[in-house]
């Protein structure tokens, strides 16, 4: 029996498939263009006002820019590190209005008017923040890549405990909250250190907590 038009080669099927995907993408792009009046591929930009380490900045940004890339690429504050870029390592932790955030998971446009503190804003050589001093004293880093995020997170952790914000391991939700080893380890669990400086980081934090009257 003559199978006529059904006699198509595998190569022909694949070529046809590629062509139809390309056409599909083109029609999606055209549909997007028709919907909002902008050419497909056009970048949406927005002005974002941020105060970083006490300095006001007004930035014209692609709306897809993360806070992390804003700090590193636009403001040249490279103390904040990009580890995973997926919210899994904590290397990019900064303080926004006093609370810690993973800056790789946060778009800059979400922070209009916010106050951001990076490791550069906590302290400088010769005038270190007590947590930076304690990390040095207790050898809380090895390669140092995770350290800016660890220190920002550690500062915010003690502030959370001071405010009485509970964690998963807080046993007494009504009594005074203490910076116990378990409390600090639980709260710091989003900050990964490949070098394994965890015990020394915990010692550094315990020293700052004790000096602050929060010791466990």
The answer for residues whose C-beta is within 8 angstroms of residue 175's C-beta and 6 or more apart is none
Task: Give least dist CB 67 to ligand FES, A.
Answer: 10
Contact between 212 and ligand FES per CB under 6 A: no
Among 53, 71, 77, 82, contact with ligand FES (rule: CB under 6 A): 82
Find, among 83, 190, 132, the residue nearest to 92 by Cα: 83
Contact between 144 and ligand FES per CB under 6 A: yes
Task: Give least dist CB 64 to ligand FES, A.
Answer: 16
Contact between 78 and ligand FES per CB under 6 A: no
State the SS3 of the chain: CCCHHHCCCHHHHHHHHHHHHHHHHHHHHHHHHHHHCCCCCCCCEEEEEEEECCEEEEEEEECCCEHHHHHHHHCCCCCCCCCCCCCCCCCCEEEECCEEEEHHHCEHHHHCCCEEECHHHHCECCECCHHHHHHHHCCCCCCCCCHHHHHHHHHHHHHHHHHCCCCCCCCCCCCCCCECHHHHHHHCCCCCCCCCCHHHHHHHHHHHHHHCCCEC
Contact between 79 and ligand FES per CB under 6 A: no
Contact between 193 and ligand FES per CB under 6 A: yes
Among 197, 202, 205, 209, contact with ligand FES (rule: CB under 6 A): 197
Contact between 136 and ligand FES per CB under 6 A: no
Task: Give least dist CB 212 to ligand FES, A.
Answer: 24
Contact between 122 and ligand FES per CB under 6 A: no
Among 141, 154, 184, 207, contact with ligand FES (rule: CB under 6 A): 141
C-beta of 102 vs 180, nearer to ligand FES: 102
Contact between 142 and ligand FES per CB under 6 A: yes
Task: Give least dist CB 115 to ligand FES, A.
Answer: 20
Assess contact for 29 and 40: CB atoms under 8 A.
Answer: yes
Contact between 198 and ligand FES per CB under 6 A: no
Q: Which residues bind ligand FES (CB under 6 A)?
A: 82-85, 87-92, 102, 104, 141-147, 193-195, 197
């Amino acid at each position: 029996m003559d199978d006529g038009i059904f006699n198509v080669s595998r190569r022909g099927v694949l070529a046809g498939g590629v062509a139809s995907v390309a056409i599909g993408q083109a029609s999606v792009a055209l549909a997007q263009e028709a919907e909002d009046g902008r050419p497909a591929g056009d970048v949406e930009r927005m002005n974002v006002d941020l105060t970083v380490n006490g300095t006001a900045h007004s930035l014209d940004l692609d709306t897809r820019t993360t806070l992390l890339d804003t700090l590193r690429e636009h403001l040249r504050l490279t103390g904040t590190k990009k580890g995973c870029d997926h919210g899994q390592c904590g290397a990019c932790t900064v303080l926004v209005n006093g609370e810690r955030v993973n800056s790789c998971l946060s778009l800059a446009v979400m922070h209009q008017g916010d106050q951001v503190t990076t490791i550069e804003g906590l302290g400088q050589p010769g005038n270190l923040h007590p947590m930076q001093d304690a990390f040095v004293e207790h050898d809380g880093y090895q390669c140092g890549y995770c350290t800016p995020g660890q220190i920002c997170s550690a500062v915010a952790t003690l502030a959370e405990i001071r405010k009485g914000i509970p964690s998963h391991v807080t046993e007494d939700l009504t009594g005074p909250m203490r910076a116990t080893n378990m409390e600090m380890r639980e709260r710091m669990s989003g900050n990964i250190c490949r070098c394994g400086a965890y015990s020394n980081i915990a010692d550094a934090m315990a020293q700052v907590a004790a000096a602050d009257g929060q010791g466990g």
